[in-house]
């Protein structure tokens, strides 16, 4: 059974940085495209960034230039480096496959940026 474990969130001041991690257990990790998603309070879950098995990346407009997605196929890890954080980035962040969720959602990791 595949398990996704996100970590690295926290409370950070506007303009600050965080690096999120997602460990994937039980998947053929290296052959899957992966993505980070987030769910802000009162909103639907949305795509943030994606990365192909070969390392090509894509970002939604609201994080482009500020966030960087990466992966380590040897460690079954997906990362999201977040810079210049804004209050609008406050959300629970999740990882999963892309473009469709293939596995049950993990518990996510909370990122809070006060306004």
44-57 per-position pLDDT tens digit = 999 999 999 999 99
Residue 43 in this model has a pLDDT that exceeds 90: yes
Strands (E), 12-99: 18-25, 34-39, 45-51, 57-59, 67-72, 77-82, 91-97
Residue 103 in this model has a pLDDT that exceeds 90: yes
DSSP summary character for residue 31: G
Instruction: Find all residues with CB under 8 Å of 1, minimum gap 6, and list them.
Output: 26
Reported as a pLDDT band with limits 50, 70 and 90, residue 28 is confident
Question: End-to-end alpha-carbon separation of the chain, Å?
Answer: 39
Q: Which pLDDT does position 26 carry in this prediction?
A: 87
What does the alpha-carbon distance between residue 84 and residue 16 come to, in Å, rounded to a whole number? 5
The DSSP H or E segment spanning 33 is none
- Tell the residue number behind the tokens 């996100």, with chain if given: 6
Q: Which pLDDT does position 27 carry in this prediction?
A: 83
């Amino acid at each position: 059974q595949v398990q996704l474990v996100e970590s690295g969130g926290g409370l950070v001041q506007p303009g600050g940085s965080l690096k999120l991690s997602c460990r994937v257990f039980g998947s053929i990790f290296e052959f899957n495209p992966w993505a980070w998603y987030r769910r802000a309070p009162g909103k639907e879950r949305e795509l943030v960034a994606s990365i192909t098995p070969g390392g090509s990346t894509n970002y939604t407009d609201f994080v482009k230039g500020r966030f960087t997605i990466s992966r380590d196929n040897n460690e079954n890890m997906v990362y999201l480096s977040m810079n210049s954080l804004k209050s609008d980035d406050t959300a629970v962040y999740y990882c999963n496959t892309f473009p469709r969720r293939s596995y049950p959602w993990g518990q996510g990791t909370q990122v809070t940026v006060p306004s």
